[in-house]
């Protein structure tokens, strides 16, 4: 038997705003002792019996960020599917399953969200082993987490009778989606209900058969999209027009809640979906007063609080059960018991067109990063960092001119038909409409200050002529 880990990495993590944003969501943030949840998911697979190289599904915007994190963990063998936009988990799983069964009809898929916290990798692998035989026998296995309290933000699974000869496996009697607190309390007291982890173990062919039986239109659309997947410079790209016909359903709603083949493995491992700042407070190391602190923080008479500083000094006095999250362009202050409301606030801000919902001041690109330092009428200042050996696209702008000043490192500048090699404190001017490119030929990061001037300074005033990262 071969187990194919399928890591789904398309979420935006709005409940961990302002640190988590659309362009850099929580699964890529160093939330777990300096490791991102995505990287922790990769580590969880080490030593797993019968596990093959990971298959990862991400979106267009995160593909280079994800590759950087794979490189940092020295993962070289993987397959990466790129979705043009999100359509929930069932279409992603179905497209991967179609491609898997072509090469291995007995393939078993281990479907993993990329943003969960499971501290004990050994117990996780034991749970997967407990469900493997049932999955091979074409049961659709979901892992249930012992309910430690009446959480209203989780789905629940009711355990049915034992599943034949498969030890530690039970039929699923019922799924309940995010019950009210009184109902959740009864579930916990009964001992028959588990939190739905969203981690699945499926025989790929059986999953597709049940999807076809229960959701025939979705199944047909997913098969058409899977047949049209193309290799594009290391990515498996899903066609946008075909993907649009795949209904945005979760695996639970599309199949698990309707099938008679659902089985649950009660899991002993500790688990969190890192769905709020309170969840991170519960996971974090704390001082003698119960405070979890990150960054430049000074406290007096503060207890049971989560305080995260990105750049500035944060001082707290006379506080209890508070979450304070500081970033360069946004500050969140909330009662720790109310942080589940953050996602709703983010949606309100997004409806108002606030850019703080989507991107940080520092924006990641495949060649490095840029950060907005200052802006005003007809000007904008950025700090640009280019990784060693990397280059920006050959491009031009119709509405803005640029002035580049090298702060550190060496810059190779293409400007029209000429090429300039600039050292520290040297500069170059790029007029409107002139094609140009910035490269780092050195072995240390190149840092420049870019001053833009013109009537229109938005990012869509970029005409790419050549690009090493195939973004044209």
Per-domain boundaries in the chain: 3-267, 277-349, 362-466
pLDDT value of residue 321: 98
Cα 444 to Cα 68, 396, 409, 425, 447, distances in angstroms: 17, 26, 6, 16, 9
Nearest to 155 by CA among 187, 178, 182, 138: 178
Q: How far apart are CA 214 and CA 276, in angstroms?
A: 34
The answer on pLDDT for 389 being more than 90 is yes
Q: How far apart are CA 297 and CA 292, in angstroms?
A: 10
Contact 55, 107 (CB under 8 A): no
Pairing of strands 230-232, 362-365: unpaired
Average pLDDT estimate for 77-92 = 95
Among 146-155, 210-219, 233-242, the minimum mean pLDDT is found in 146-155
Per-residue pLDDT reduced to its tens digit, 263-273? 999 998 999 99
Contact 22, 151 (CB under 8 A): no
pLDDT value of residue 440: 98
Nearest to 212 by CA among 155, 163, 179, 254: 254
Q: How confident is the model at residue 182 (pLDDT cuts 50, 70, 90)?
A: very high
Q: How confident is the model at residue 25 (pLDDT cuts 50, 70, 90)?
A: very high
First to last CA, the chain: 41
Pairing of strands 3-9, 230-232: unpaired
The answer on pLDDT for 33 being more than 90 is no
Give the helix/strand (H/E) hosting 130: helix 121-136
Average pLDDT estimate for 317-323 = 98
The third-level CATH classification (topology) of the domain covering 362-466 is Jelly Rolls (2.60.120)
Mean pLDDT over all residues of the chain? 95
The answer on pLDDT for 233 being more than 90 is no
Average pLDDT estimate for 76-84 = 95
Among 152-166, 253-267, 304-318, 320-334, the minimum mean pLDDT is found in 152-166
Contact 436, 420 (CB under 8 A): no
pLDDT value of residue 1: 85
Pairing of strands 446-454, 400-408: antiparallel
Q: How confident is the model at residue 109 (pLDDT cuts 50, 70, 90)?
A: very high
% of the chain exceeding 70 in pLDDT? 100
Strand residue runs (E) in 177-234: 193-203, 230-232
The third-level CATH classification (topology) of the domain covering 3-267 is Spore Coat Polysaccharide Biosynthesis Protein SpsA; Chain A (3.90.550)
The answer on pLDDT for 277 being more than 90 is yes
Average pLDDT estimate for 172-194 = 92
Q: How far apart are CA 76 and CA 408, in angstroms?
A: 31
Nearest to 115 by CA among 224, 212, 19, 51: 19
**Ordered alpha helix ranges (H), 5-120:** 37-44, 63-72, 89-103
Q: What long-range pairs does 222-226 form, CB within 8 A, spacing at least 24?
A: 222/90, 222/91, 222/94, 222/95, 222/98, 222/246, 223/94, 223/98, 225/91, 225/95, 226/94, 226/95, 226/98, 226/99
């Amino acid at each position: 038997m071969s187990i194919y880990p399928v890591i789904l990495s398309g979420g935006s993590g709005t409940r961990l705003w302002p640190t988590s944003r659309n362009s850099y969501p929580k699964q890529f943030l160093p939330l777990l002792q300096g490791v991102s949840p995505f990287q922790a998911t990769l580590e969880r697979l080490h030593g797993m019996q019968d596990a093959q190289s990971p298959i990862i599904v991400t979106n267009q915007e995160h593909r280079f960020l994800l590759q950087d994190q794979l490189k940092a963990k020295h993962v070289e063998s993987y397959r990466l599917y790129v979705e043009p936009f999100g359509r929930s988990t069932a279409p992603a799983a179905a497209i991967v399953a179609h491609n898997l069964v072509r090469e291995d009809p007995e393939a078993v898929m281990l479907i993993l969200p990329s943003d969960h916290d499971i501290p004990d990798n050994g117990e996780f692998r034991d749970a997967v082993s407990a469900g493997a035989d049932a999955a091979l026998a074409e049961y659709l296995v979901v892992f249930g987490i012992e309910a430690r309290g009446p959480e209203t933000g989780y789905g629940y699974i009711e355990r049915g009778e034992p599943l034949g000869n498969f030890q530690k496996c039970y039929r699923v009697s019922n799924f309940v989606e995010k019950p009210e607190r009184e109902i959740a309390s009864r579930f916990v007291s009964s001992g028959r209900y588990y939190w739905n982890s969203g981690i699945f173990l499926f025989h790929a062919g059986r999953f597709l058969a049940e999807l076809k039986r229960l959701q025939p239109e979705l199944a047909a659309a997913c098969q058409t999209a899977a047949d049209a997947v193309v290799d594009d410079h290391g990515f498996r790209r899903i066609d946008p027009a075909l993907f649009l016909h795949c209904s945005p359903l979760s695996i639970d709603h599309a199949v698990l809640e309707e099938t008679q083949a659902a089985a649950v493995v009660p899991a002993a491992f500790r688990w969190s979906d890192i769905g709020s700042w309170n969840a991170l407070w519960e996971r974090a190391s704390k001082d003698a007063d119960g405070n979890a602190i990150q960054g430049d923080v000074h406290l007096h008479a503060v207890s049971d609080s989560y305080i995260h500083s990105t750049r500035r000094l944060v001082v707290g006095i006379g506080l209890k059960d508070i979450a304070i999250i500081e970033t360069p362009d946004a500050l969140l202050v909330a009662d720790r018991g109310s942080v589940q409301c953050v996602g709703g606030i983010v949606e309100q801000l997004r409806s108002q067109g606030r850019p703080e919902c989507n991107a940080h001041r520092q924006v990641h690109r495949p060649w490095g990063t840029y950060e907005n330092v200052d802006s005003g009428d007809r000007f904008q200042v950025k700090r640009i960092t280019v990784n060693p050996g990397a280059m920006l696209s050959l491009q031009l702008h119709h509405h803005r001119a640029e002035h580049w000043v090298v702060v550190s490192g060496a810059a190779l500048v293409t400007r029209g038909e000429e090429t300039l090699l600039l050292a520290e404190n040297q500069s170059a001017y790029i007029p409107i409409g002139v094609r140009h490119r910035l490269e780092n030929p050195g072995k240390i990061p190149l840092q420049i200050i870019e001053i833009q001037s013109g009537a229109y300074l938005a990012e869509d005033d970029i005409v790419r002529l050549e690009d090493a990262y195939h973004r044209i």
